Amino acid sequence: MRHPIFAANWKMNQAPADASAFIRQFLAYFPRQQDRTVLIFPSALALHAVAEALKDRPDIQLGVQNIHWEDKGAFTGENSAPIARAAGAKFVLVGHSERRHVFGETDEETGKKAAAAIRAGLTPLVCVGETLAQREAGETGAVVIRQLRAAVATIDAQHIASSLVAYEPVWAIGTGKTASPSDASAVHAMIRAELRTLTGERGEAVPILYGGSVNRGNATALLAAAEVDGLLVGGASLDAEGWAAIVRA
Ligand code: PEP
């Protein structure tokens, strides 16, 4: 078993004071552990509060949910990778399905964002996943591989190998439906094969997380599936006790 990674995507939830209170509660349920990595992606506006609340817990790391692909400039309302890095983020979600399907982010834009992340010293967590229509049309493999290739198109093999990938079927996100462990394994294996093509043997070490309606009831089975190296969790990461139960899976 690889050293598992648990990532919480809080989406547009948890104001700074709520986020600090959450962390205090979560830390009480989750003493420091060496055998797993915990990442939290709060709202960018709560990043500072969460970093403060975690100052004695360097084992838990922070990321942002989105960045612009330019490093600075006239992009009102956006955050850049260097700003995120300076504010305490080490990771960034790239190509999350809500960015793609709610905000119309293209494959090309995810590629530019991943490249911006690398330039700034952030680790991209590249999210890929098919819609229900694509799954039913038998296009799952083609879609996730196309998204993965586009996201890392301008990144060198060494940096691809130090990135993270999440398989998040769009039809499973926030719906209460999950991929079965064996379906998740099958898609992760396709992603793994592509990572080997892109980076050679180094592709073996790239963590591939599963995301989509993970909760404390299904986390253990999903994590036990072949090729599943961790979990990316949205809704169920908003309850401190439930999130701690998942992280202990
Ligand atoms: C997500 O937003 O990445 C996610 C997996 O959400 P949920 O766990 O709520 O399906």
CATH number reported for the structural domain that contains residue 125 in this entry: 3.20.20.70
For the record, the structure tokens of 197 come out as 């093509």
Residue nearest to atom 2 of ligand 1 (CA): 234
**Cα torsion 192, 197, 199, 204: sign:** positive
CA–CA separation, 214 and 236 (whole Å): 7
CA–CA separation, 40 and 18 (whole Å): 14
If you measure from the C-alpha of residue 111 to the centroid of ligand 1, how many angstroms do you get, rounded to a whole number? 21
Closest CA relative to residue 165, chosen from 228, 207, 214:
207
DSSP H helices, 54-139, are 81-86, 97-101, 107-120, 132-136
Whole-structure pTM over 0.95, yes or no?
yes
Mutation probe of ligand 1 site: the residue of 168, 175, 215, 228 with most atoms within 8 A of C-beta: 168
Residue nearest to atom 6 of ligand 1 (CA): 234
State the maximum Cα–Cα separation within the chain, in Å, rounded to a whole number. Answer: 49
pLDDT reported for residue 249: 87
200 lines ligand 1 (CB under 6 A): no
CA–CA separation, 122 and 35 (whole Å): 22
CA–CA separation, 89 and 63 (whole Å): 4
Active-site annotation holder among 96, 130, 159, 194: 96
For the record, the structure tokens of 118 come out as 């690398």
Question: Which helix (H) or strand (E) segment is 218 a member of?
Answer: none
Closest CA relative to residue 1, chosen from 48, 34, 30, 35:
35
129 lines ligand 1 (CB under 6 A): no
**Counted domains in the chain:** 1
CA–CA separation, 3 and 157 (whole Å): 22
pLDDT digits (tens), the chain, 249 positions: 579 999 999 999 999 999 999 999 999 999 998 899 999 999 999 999 999 999 999 999 999 999 999 999 999 999 999 999 999 999 999 999 999 999 999 999 999 999 999 999 999 999 999 999 999 999 999 999 999 999 999 999 999 999 999 999 999 999 999 999 999 999 999 999 999 999 999 999 999 999 999 999 999 999 999 999 999 999 999 999 999 999 998
125 lines ligand 1 (CB under 6 A): no
> Which range marks the domain in which residue 38 is found?
5-247
CA–CA separation, 87 and 64 (whole Å): 10
Residue nearest to atom 3 of ligand 1 (CA): 234
Closest CA relative to residue 124, chosen from 63, 188, 48:
63
Atom of ligand 1 nearest to the CA of 215: 8
Helix (H, G, I), strand (E, B) or coil at 6: strand
**Residue 168 bears catalytic tag:** yes
**Residue 139 bears catalytic tag:** no
